[in-house]
Amino acid sequence: MSDRAGPSGPPRVETTTVRVRYAETDRQGIVYHANYFVWMELGRTDFLRKSGFPYPDLEAAGIVFAVSEARCRFRGAAEYDDEVEVATRVREVRSRSVVFEYELRAGERPLASGETTLVALDVERRPRRIPDELRAALRR
């Protein structure tokens, strides 16, 4: 069972801003690539919060999201102190997983685009259904 997000009109996009930390740069003078995956998580966490389902509340209710796949195409280089905008949207909501998409930019400069698949697990890390209200909120 799978639905494309946003059956009517374009999907909702939420934007999260992250200022680049010194610790995130490497000796090439730019941001070390693995940190983009951390920023994508900040994007989807913020998306969930703005959807009315803060992720800490989900975990407290016994729903853990685990990343089952992650990818990123790097187009530009984020630099120290840049204000990076992470634009997050839901591409697909399934009964037990969600696919998020991300576009990252610093001002006009495109940095990267990425996507992650999250699977819902219970506290014993077994796959579980995503509650209907959450699925509905993600599609909105």
Minimum distance from residue 61 beta carbon to a copy of itself (Å): 14
CB 116 within 8 A of CB 92: no
Catalytic residue among 3, 26, 81, 122, which?
Answer: 26
| Closest by CA position to 80, among listed 133, 32, 131 | 32
Compute the least distance from the CB of residue 77 to a copy of itself, in Å.
7
DSSP class of residue 126 equals -
Check if 122 is active-site.
Answer: no
| H-helix or E-strand spanning residue 114 | strand 109-121
Residue ranges in contact with a copy of itself by CB under 8 A: 21-23, 25-30, 32-35, 37-38, 41-42, 45, 54-56, 64, 66-74, 77, 80-81, 125
Enumerate the active-site residues: 26
